[in-house]
Structure 1
Amino acid sequence: MSRYAIAYAPVAESALKQYSGAAGFRAAMASTLGRDPYGHGSTAVGGERDRREATIAGVFIRYYVAENIVKITVVRMVPPP
């Protein structure tokens, strides 16, 4: 079970609904960034520790970490073709 709740901004949610591998992606998110949002090959964007990007299960994502409320919000995602 993930420690961080994972939410999706409307644009990312729309992309996720169209992605055929959505169930596997959600599971991968929970088992990786959901446990450690600063790990798993993620990198800070623009020098901001909580604004990050990573590739999880072949999907490039940009997300924000809200450590005080233990939540990750995916704002953009680019699934593979």
Structure 2
Amino acid sequence: MASETSNYGDNEDLIQVDINFKGSKIKVYKSKSIGYYICPVCKKSIFFNELDLLDHIIAHAKGLNEKRRDIPTRFYRREKEE
């Protein structure tokens, strides 16, 4: 499903890999030592198999990541100590 093509810049651990998905080639980077894939869209998320990466890329295409709400947080006011 994937084919190795070339090294990525000065990082010798990352290689560029082509993933075929329904007739389309997607170029992603993969770690040689650990074997994780890096999302080519946001470059923040890592995945350990191609199917999870493809689901994440489809979520980017549908805009689901941008519409997702953050985890609710509570803000506490600190009293000024005098």
- Compute the TM-score of the two structures, normalised by the length of structure 2: 0.30
Higher percent of residues as helix = 1
Larger of the two Rg values belongs to structure: 2
Q: Normalized against structure 1, the TM-score is what?
A: 0.31
Which gives a bigger RCO, structure 1 or 2 (Cα 8 Å, sep 6+)? 1
